[in-house]
Amino acid sequence: MKITIIGVGLIGGSMALKLKAKGFASYVFGVDQNENHLLEAKERGIIDEASTLENAVSHSDLVIIAIPVDASRKILPGILDLVTENQTVMDAGSTKSGIVNAVKNHPNRNRFVAFHPMWGTENSGPKSAVSESFAGRAAVICDREQSSEDALKTVENTAENLDMHLIYMNADDHDVHAAYISHISHITSYALANTVLEKEREEDTIFQLASTGFSSTVRLAKSHPEMWVPIFKQNKENVLDVLNEHISQLRKFKSALEKENYELLEELIRNANKIRGILEK
């Protein structure tokens, strides 16, 4: 199968490496605005050929869009203009409602499958791509009834070759869940990093005293705004909803400390410990 990867960075590059290793992709075209990324992807064997969008799509069975969600939303209608009934288009964005609504009336809507691989790191670019990144992770397909049977099967096979397990839901539900399990984590990490930077002026002290707990909590704060501002923008209402709840929870901790109510503090912590049972299932 010939594949086009639009955006040869962390997500797209990792997908290409795995699909080539599995023999699922026989040839990979790379499309990216960053010429250095294309050169690096070619050197690393992520892609076989750097190409224009039109040429790549015309010669591919599957097109994977792995760029920021606002850019995906803009480019998808034009890609669907180019494809035939024998081609499949999928994305890898962290928000889904905006992108499916952008093409809901497109005559080739059934060639598109809304897809979200539930994996990512704070790193970016082809240098960060790792073949085994997706193994054992969840892959969400949204609004599958809007996609043709053969296009859906192609994407399901893609997920299988990435060694992912599939989950199906509608786009609106996906965005609500993503706000709670992913998007709020990034906002919290950014806010914590800004808090420490504001209060602790000695960079050497931060470096010397940072524990593994602190480092793991602020790891997501290294994530690039080019990716995350569009996600927060596209999922604004859901993110605001979960952010309000998060602020409410922080106020409970603040109040318990202010009032020296250590019983309440213990109760809040014990309640939070319940997440362990969920995550370790």
Q: Which two tokens stand for residue 56?
A: 């790549």
**Quick check: 61 and 89 in contact, CB under 8 A?**
no
pLDDT of residue 205: 62
Quote the pLDDT of residue 193.
86
| Residue intervals in the chain for CATH 1.10.3660.10 | 174-279
Q: What is the mean pLDDT of residues 143-171?
A: 97
Q: Give the strand order in the sheet containing 165-169.
A: 49-50, 27-31, 2-6, 62-65, 88-91, 112-117, 138-142, 165-169
- Cα of first residue to Cα of last residue in the chain, in angstroms, is 36
Average pLDDT, the chain: 91
Say how far apart CA 228 and CA 234 lie, in whole Å.
Answer: 10
| Per-residue confidence band for 213, with pLDDT thresholds at 50, 70 and 90 | low
Q: What is the pTM of this model?
A: 0.85
Res 66: pLDDT: 96
215-274 confidence digits (pLDDT tens): 777 778 888 888 889 999 999 999 999 999 999 999 999 999 999 999 999 999 999 999
Architecture of domain 2-170: 3-Layer(aba) Sandwich (3.40)
User: Would you place residue 53 in the very low, low, confident or very high pLDDT band (cuts 50, 70, 90)?
Assistant: very high
CATH 3.40.50.720 segments of the chain: 2-170
Distance CA 132, CA 136 (A): 9
Tell the CATH topology of 174-279: 6-phosphogluconate dehydrogenase C-terminal fold (1.10.3660)
